[in-house]
Amino acid sequence: EAQVTQNPRYLITVTGKKLTVTCSQNMNHEYMSWYRQDPGLGLRQIYYSMNVEVTDKGDVPEGYKVSRKEKRNFPLILESPSPNQTSLYFCASKTAYYGSPLHFGNGTRLTVT
Amino acid sequence: SQQGEEDPQALSIQEGENATMNCSYKTSINNLQWYRQNSGRGLVHLILIRSNEREKHSGRLRVTLDTSKKSSSLLITASRAADTASYFCAPEFSGGGADGLTFGKGTHLIIQP
C-alpha cells in the first residue's frame, strides 16, 4: 500500500532532550516536506526537500533540522526541544511534477514540557 | 512563503445544504489543489484544477478558478455529516520547480444533522 509513515504518533518529552521524528514513503517520491499545525495558525511548512541531499527552509525552520540521505526517508530532528515546539507535525511527499498531489502521514503529536 | 487564504474560517450548515468556501492567492499559479482534513488526521487530496481550467467536478465537489481575480471556490453539494472537516486550498505557484505546497488556516466546516 502506498503510504507515508511517521513515527512515533505521540511523543512527550522534556525541554532540551534531543529527539527525531521519522518519516518514510514507499512511492519513490522526489519531494518531501514537514509541516507543523497549531490552533489558529493553520499548517506551516518547516523544511522541504526536492530530492536526495537537497533541503530548503520553509516558513518556520528555527529549532529544527532535517536530512535527506535516502530518497524514502526524511527525518525531522529537534536538537534541543522547547515548549513552543509542542505541536502536531505532518510529513508529506509528492512527485516533482506540477499538479501531483501531496500524500500525508498520520501525524505526530509532540508535547515538550 | 506564498500561500492561499481560505474564507470563511468557519462555516456551519444543515445536512443536505450546499457548502461554499473560497480561496484567494496573490501571484500566478500553475494549478490549485484542495485538501480535506478530518480532525487531527493528515490532509487528503480532493481535487486539482489547472490554471487553464475554469471549472472542474468530482462527485459532489465542484471547483471553480478565476485567475483574473486570483481566487477559487469549492462547492460541496448535498452535504453530509461525514463532510465535517477542515478544508484547505494549496496554490502551486509558477515559480519553476516543485518548491512546495503551502497551506493557510483552512475553512472549518461543520454539518449539523
pLDDT in tens, A9-34: 999 999 999 999 999 999 999 999 99
Chain A residue with Cα closest to B98: A96
pLDDT score of B65 more than 60 = yes
Asked if the Cβ–Cβ distance from A45 to B48 is below 8 Å, we say no
On whether any CB of chain A is under 8 Å from the CB of B44, the answer is yes
Longest pairwise C-alpha distance within chain A: 40
What confidence tens digit (pLDDT) does each residue in B21-43 have?
Answer: 999 999 889 999 999 999 889 99
pLDDT score of B97 more than 70 = no
Return the C-alpha cell found at A12: 512527550
In single-letter form, the type of residue at position A101 comes to: P
pLDDT at position B72 is 97
| Residue closest to B23 by CA, chosen among B81, B85, B67 | B67
pLDDT at position B101 is 82
Return the C-alpha cell found at B107: 475553512
What Cα–Cα distance (Å) separates residue B68 from each residue in A95, B49, B90? 28, 15, 17
pLDDT at position A28 is 97
State the average pLDDT over residues B69-95: 94
pLDDT at position A70 is 97
pLDDT score of B1 more than 90 = no
- Integer Cα distance of A53 and B32 in angstroms: 28
pLDDT score of B73 more than 90 = yes
pLDDT at position B99 is 57
| Those residues with Cβ within 8 angstroms of residue B45's Cβ, 6 or more apart along the chain or in another chain | A101, A102, A103, B33, B34, B35
pLDDT at position A53 is 94
Quick check: A20 and A77 in contact, CB under 8 A? yes
pLDDT at position B93 is 83
Chain A residue with Cα closest to B36: A104
**Mutate: best of A23, A46, A98, A110, partner B, most B CBs <10 A:** A98
- Integer Cα distance of B101 and B92 in angstroms: 6
pLDDT at position A2 is 87
Contacts of A60 in chain B (CB under 8 A): none
- Where chain A has pLDDT below 70, the residues are none
Say which residue the cell 514540557 belongs to.
A113
pLDDT score of B95 more than 80 = no
Say which residue the cell 481535487 belongs to.
B47
Asked if the Cβ–Cβ distance from A43 to B88 is below 8 Å, we say yes
State the average pLDDT over residues B37-50: 95
Return the C-alpha cell found at B44: 487528503
**Percent above pLDDT 90 for chain B:** 80
State the average pLDDT over residues B70-78: 97
